Amino acid sequence: MRVVVAGGAGFLGSHLCDALIVRGDRVVCVDNYLTGRSANVDHLLDHESFEVLEADICNGVEVDGPVDAVMNLASPASPKDYYRLPIETLDVGSIGTRNLLELARARDARFFMASTSEVYGDPSIHPQTEEYWGNVNPIGLRSMYDEAKRFSEALTFAYHRRHGVAIRVVRIFNTYGPRMQPDDGRVVSNFITQALRGEALTIYGDGSQTRSFCYVEDEVRGFLALLDSGQSGPINIGNPGEFTMLELADLVNELTGNTAGIVFEPLPSDDPKQRKPDISLAEDLLGWSPVIDLRTGLERTIASFVAVLGV
Q: Amino acid identity of 130?
A: E
Mean pLDDT across 217-242: 97
Mean pLDDT across 195-201: 96
Cα 84 to Cα 82: distance, rounded to the nearest angstrom: 5
**φ/ψ (deg, to 5) at 292:** -100, 120
Q: Which residues are catalytic?
A: 145
Residue 135 scores a pLDDT above 90: yes
Percent of the chain clearing pLDDT 70 (strictly above): 99
Assigned superfamily of 2-176+214-240+276-291: NAD(P)-binding Rossmann-like Domain (3.40.50.720)
Quote the pLDDT of residue 68: 98
Quote the pLDDT of residue 207: 93
Contacts of 254 (CB under 8 A, 6+ apart): none
Per-residue pLDDT tens digits for 61-97:
999 999 999 999 999 998 899 999 999 999 999 999 9
Per-residue pLDDT tens digits for 251-291:
999 999 999 999 999 887 667 788 899 999 999 999 999 99
The residue extents of the domains of the chain are 2-176+214-240+276-291
Quote the pLDDT of residue 311: 81
Residue 172 scores a pLDDT above 80: yes
Cα 239 to Cα 259: distance, rounded to the nearest angstrom: 28
Q: Amino acid identity of 145?
A: Y
Mean pLDDT across 30-47: 97
Quote the pLDDT of residue 271: 73
CA angle, 210 then 173 then 154, to 5°: 125
Quote the pLDDT of residue 189: 96
DSSP assignment, residue 53? E
Residue 114 scores a pLDDT above 70: yes
Average pLDDT over all residues of the chain: 96
Residue 310 scores a pLDDT above 90: no
Contacts of 22 (CB under 8 A, 6+ apart): none
